């Protein structure tokens, strides 16, 4: 709010009815710029449109929405279990990075991983089947032998 009214009650009323700031005339233009920048800084902090923080990931025909737990590939809805969804989300969120089986298990299931556990491998296979990935030549979820799984950037 930019005004000539300088009384405290006017400032309080202005801020109470919804003004984010209150500047009285005469004012320093540099102060005005600083106040606008501060408002923009707060706006971007609380309305962050950074893709890393979004709840929707979209690439190469795959759309995965964390809020609605929906996933589609080339417009076709994939029926994923909550565990399958969590695995796919984790891999999509970390595209280009190999995530080892132990990390996948511990982050998705929230339990300690046991070396002879094939649970992750079975779930990856089911996700690939639902994505109609060609056996032996997956397009999305790649196996890095002896290490883990990844989705290319």
SS3 for 44-82 is HHHCCCCHHHCCEEEECCEEEECCCCEEEECCEEECCCH
Q: What is the pLDDT of residue 48?
A: 57
pLDDT digits (tens, 9 = 90+) for 10-61: 989 988 898 888 999 999 999 989 988 888 888 877 775 544 547 999 988 9
What are 81-128's pLDDT values in tens digits? Answer: 999 999 999 999 999 999 999 999 999 999 888 876 789 999 999 999
The C-alpha atoms of residue 137 and residue 134 are separated, in whole angstroms, by 5
pTM: 0.64
139: which 2 tokens? 């397009």
Q: Which of 71, 77, 42, 41 is nearest to 56 (CA)?
A: 71
Region of 60 (left: φ > 0; alpha: ψ -120 to 50; beta: rest) is left
Alpha-carbon distance of 128 to 52, in angstroms, equals 24
Q: What CATH number is given for 52-151 in this structure?
A: 1.10.10.10
Residue spans per domain, the chain: 2-46, 52-151
Per-residue pLDDT tens for 10-22? 989 988 898 888 9
């Amino acid at each position: 709010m930019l005004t000539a009214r300088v009384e405290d009650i006017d400032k309080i009323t202005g801020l109470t009815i919804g003004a984010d700031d209150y500047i009285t005339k005469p004012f320093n233009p540099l102060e005005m710029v600083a106040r606008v920048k501060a408002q923009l800084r707060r706006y971007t902090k609380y309305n962050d449109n950074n893709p890393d923080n979004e709840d929707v990931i979209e690439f190469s025909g795959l759309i995965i929405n964390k809020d609605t737990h929906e996933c589609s590939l080339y417009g076709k809805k994939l029926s994923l279990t909550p565990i399958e969804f969590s695995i796919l989300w984790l891999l999509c969120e970390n595209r280009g990075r190999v995530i080892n089986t132990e990390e996948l298990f511990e982050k998705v299931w929230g339990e300690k991983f046991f070396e002879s556990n094939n649970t992750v491998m079975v779930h990856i296979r089911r996700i690939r089947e639902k994505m109609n990935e060609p056996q032996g030549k997956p397009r999305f979820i790649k196996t890095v032998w002896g290490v883990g799984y990844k989705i290319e950037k």
